[in-house]
Amino acid sequence: MTVKSSVLLGSAALGLLIALIGFSALLFAEPYHQRIVFIFMVNLIIVLGLQVFMGNCDITHFGHIGFMGIAAYAVAVLATPIAIKKTALATAPFGLSGIELPLFFAVPGAIAITLIVAFFVGLVMVRQTGVPATIATLAFLVVVHVVLLNWVDLTRGPRAFYGIPIKASLSTATAIAVVGVLIARMFRDSRWGVQLRASSEDAAAAAAVGVRMQRLRFAAWMLSALFLSVAGVLFALFVGTISPKSFYFELTFLTLAMLIIGGMHSVTGAVVGAIVVALGLEVTRFVENGPDIAGFELPQMFGLTGFYLGAVIVFGMAFRSEGIVGPQEIEEWWGSRQQGKQSDAGSSEAPNP
Residues that bind another protein (CB under 8 A): 191-192, 194-195, 197-198, 201-202, 204-212, 265, 327, 335, 339-343, 345-346, 349-353
SS3 293: strand
Query: Please, which residue, 84 or 198, has the CB nearer to another protein?
Result: 198
The span from the CA of 101 to the CA of 233, in Å, is 14
Sign of CA dihedral 7, 12, 17, 23: positive
Q: Which of 245, 197, 228 is nearest to 121 (CA)?
A: 228
Query: Please, which residue, 195 or 246, has the CB nearer to another protein?
Result: 195
SS3 296: strand
Q: What is the DSSP string of 40-57?
A: HHHHHHHHHHHIIIIIHH
Q: What is the DSSP string of 149-191?
A: HH-HHHH-TTS-B--------HHHHHHHHHHHHHHHHHHHTSH
Those residues whose C-beta lies under 8 Å from the C-beta of residue 250, and which sit 6 or more positions away, are: none
The span from the CA of 139 to the CA of 70, in Å, is 15
Nearest distance in Å: CB 25, another protein: 36
Nearest distance in Å: CB 351, another protein: 5
Contact by Cβ (8 Å): 154, 69? no
Nearest distance in Å: CB 195, another protein: 5
Long-range CB pairs of 188-191 (<8 Å, 24+ gap) are 188/51, 188/52, 188/55, 188/56, 188/266, 188/267, 188/329, 189/4, 189/6, 189/7, 189/329, 190/1, 191/1
SS3 291: coil
Query: Please, which residue, 58 or 250, has the CB nearer to another protein?
Result: 58
Nearest distance in Å: CB 349, another protein: 7
Query: Please, which residue, 150 or 321, has the CB nearer to another protein?
Result: 321
- For the purposes of burial, counting CB atoms within 10 Å of the CB of 190, is it exposed (0-12), middle (13-18) or buried (19 or more)? middle
The total of other beta-carbon atoms located within 10 Å of residue 325's CB is 24
Query: Please, which residue, 3 or 143, has the CB nearer to another protein?
Result: 3
Query: Please, which residue, 241 or 336, has the CB nearer to another protein?
Result: 336
Nearest distance in Å: CB 63, another protein: 25
Query: Please, which residue, 4 or 86, has the CB nearer to another protein?
Result: 4
Query: Please, which residue, 4 or 285, has the CB nearer to another protein?
Result: 4
Query: Please, which residue, 33 or 337, has the CB nearer to another protein?
Result: 337
Q: How many degrees, rounded to 5, is the angle at CA 48 between CA 42 and CA 54?
A: 135
Nearest distance in Å: CB 330, another protein: 16
Nearest distance in Å: CB 183, another protein: 20
Nearest distance in Å: CB 247, another protein: 33
Nearest distance in Å: CB 352, another protein: 7
